[in-house]
Amino acid sequence: MAQDQTPPTVAPESTEDVKIEQPEGKAQEQQTPPNVPYNRFKEVNEEKQALKLKLETIETERLTEQGKYKELFESSETKFKTLQDSINQERINASLVTELAKHNPSSIDVAKRLIDVQGLTVGEDGSVMGVQEAVAKVIQEVPQLFTVTPPANAGVKVPTGEVGSRSFTLSEIQDPVFRNANWEAIEKASKEKRIDMTK
């Protein structure tokens, strides 16, 4: 029998010259990494570690900035909410004053204080809901607040026979009820200069 004679393998003297040999069939399927000297390997590995550390630092800075943006966003959101609440409160006040003025209270401020604003809501379109009900409740609870004493000459209409010749005083034409009841006669008297501006 013939013995297989394989040449003895010799250990290389330095690690720089080490080559890994692949059988011919596998050499075509995989590419063999080139021989890399240890010093170059160490240098590349240190660069990789430095880049990895730099990437971690950048990621930490990015997260820190995101935290700042998050704080800024939350701060802006709080300011927006405060501003929105202020605007809604002004809308409620304006609606209350408008509705109360229709009922002629002796003091709008006192009437506003008596209204429970917790039941009032502002819709998305800015309309205030519940104002009429709240005012009606105050009118029922405190009717004397809405009782106004009419002026002495309220509703007094000049007799039709005197319309053409009657003179009017300044106090009469300043009274809204009297003025509304006699506006035609007052206009005619004004054109004819029959208004006494001293009384």
Q: Where are the alpha helices (H) located in the chain, listed in sequence order?
A: 24-29, 38-102, 108-114, 131-141, 170-174, 176-181, 183-191
Q: Please say if the pLDDT value at position 55 is more than 70.
A: yes
Tokens describing residue 47: 């660069």
Residues 14, 22 contacting (CB under 8 angstroms): no
On the question of pLDDT at 108 being above 50, the answer is: yes
66-90 mean pLDDT? 87
pLDDT at 163: 47
pTM above 0.85, yes or no: no
Q: Between residues 56 and 195, which one has the greater pLDDT?
A: 56
